[in-house]
Structure formats: structure tokens, C-alpha cells
């Protein structure tokens, strides 16, 4: 699985920054959700963990949308227990999976785990989630936090892929964004340092 993941990552240009998860941190998340994570995602966490793409135009599109959502660009994949590292580097602390879970514990669908976010242009938060429900286990969906109901059902979310590997392999390097978008991207990455 490691080689397949590495090939998929290489296809969209790789990551500028990663913080691999420790085995104990992954087990902590599995205990919290009372289930083993899908093997492809588990392997990704241990190999890459927090992962910030080399480009701000790594794009994804839904395979089934519950509304007008046509696609977006990957912000980052969340890491586990990375807040101290990101805080010390002046980075984006909301990329710590534990913080995202705490922040959305009352509204996030309880059948899913947040795994990343997108670079939204419209001032609302979108979270990339993985289903842990038995009938849709491992499916990757997009949850539009402000637009979708609290404790949304699976059918409310936008289906991005049937597995984490399928999602990763489907990421594509899009056209370069306009120059005007670049400062906010780097401000987000480096907490104002550019």
C-alpha cells in the first residue's frame, strides 16, 4: 500500500510539508471512534500524517453531489497530535485532527472522521470526511459545515471517492490560480509570514 500511496502523491506534485503520525496517536483516534481505520488511510497517516500539498491547485471533484458543489482544491490533510509542532513553526494549528474534532463535536456527523479541508473561496468551511459507518465504510465525502445540517446524513454530503486511496489517486494538479489568490494561501500556511 505504501508504494501505491507514494505514486498517487507524486502524480499531483507531492507535499511541501508533512508530519507523520505516531502509531500510538493513530490508536488513540481508533479508540475514540471505536473502530479500526481503513488500512489505506492508516498507512497514509503513519507515512505522511499532516500533509500540505506543494501547490494550492490540487483539485478534486465529487463523484456524486447532493447539490451544486462541482469541486475544490485540497487545503491539507489533518495530522494527529501536531498542534505543538505547528504552533512552534507559526503554522496553521487548525490542521490538528484532535482540534477539528473538538471544534465540531456538536455538529459533525458522528458516523465520520474529518481527514482534511479544502481551500474554499467563499468564506465557509468545508471538511473532507471519511465514513466509518458499516455500509459506507471508507467513503470520502465533503461536508460543507455552514451549508449542511448539524449531524448531516450520508446523503447530505458530497461523495468524493469510495476509498481514501481512490480519493488520493483522483487528485489532479489544476491550472495555476490567479496571482491575487496567492497571498491569502501563504498567509494561511505560515500564519502571516511570507
CATH assignment of 2-173? 3.40.1580.10
Output the pLDDT for position 45.
Answer: 97
Please name which of 44, 42, 21 lies closest in space to residue 98, comparing C-alpha atoms.
21
pLDDT at 108: 85
CB of 21 within 8 A of CB of 81?
A: yes
For the chain, the structural domain boundaries read 2-173
State the SS3 of 85-112: HHHHHCCCHHHEHHHHHHHCCCCCCCCE
C-alpha cell at 104: 465540531
Q: What is the DSSP letter of 177?
A: P
C-alpha cell at 97: 485532527
Cell numbers given for 22: 505516531
CB 64 within 8 A of CB 51: no
Which residues on adjacent β-strands are paired with residue 78? none
pLDDT in tens, the chain (194 residues): 889 999 999 999 999 989 999 999 999 999 999 999 999 999 999 999 999 999 989 999 999 987 778 888 999 999 998 876 666 666 555 788 888 888 888 888 888 999 999 986 555 578 999 999 999 999 999 988 877 767 778 888 899 999 999 999 999 988 765 544 444 444 455 444 33
Amino acid at each position: 500500500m505504501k508504494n501505491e500511496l507514494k505514486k498517487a502523491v507524486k502524480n499531483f506534485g507531492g507535499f511541501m510539508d508533512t508530519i507523520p503520525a505516531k502509531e500510538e496517536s493513530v490508536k488513540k483516534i481508533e479508540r475514540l471512534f471505536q473502530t479500526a481505520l481503513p488500512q489505506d488511510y492508516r498507512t497514509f497517516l503513519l507515512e505522511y500524517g499532516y500533509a500540505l500539498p506543494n501547490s494550492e491547485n490540487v483539485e478534486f471533484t465529487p463523484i456524486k453531489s447532493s447539490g451544486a458543489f462541482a469541486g475544490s482544491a485540497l487545503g491539507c490533510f489533518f495530522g494527529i497530535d501536531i498542534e505543538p509542532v505547528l504552533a512552534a513553526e507559526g503554522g496553521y494549528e487548525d490542521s490538528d485532527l484532535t482540534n477539528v474534532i473538538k471544534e465540531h463535536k456538536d455538529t459533525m456527523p458522528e458516523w465520520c472522521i474529518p481527514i482534511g479541508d479544502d481551500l474554499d473561496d467563499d468564506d465557509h468551511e468545508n471538511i473532507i470526511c471519511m465514513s466509518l459507518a458499516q455500509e459506507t465504510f471508507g467513503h470520502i465525502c465533503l461536508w460543507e459545515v455552514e451549508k449542511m445540517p448539524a449531524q448531516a446524513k450520508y446523503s447530505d454530503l458530497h461523495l468524493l471517492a469510495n476509498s481514501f486511496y481512490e480519493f488520493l489517486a483522483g487528485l489532479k494538479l489544476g491550472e495555476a490560480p490567479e496571482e491575487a489568490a496567492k497571498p491569502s494561501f501563504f498567509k494561511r500556511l505560515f500564519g502571516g509570514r511570507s
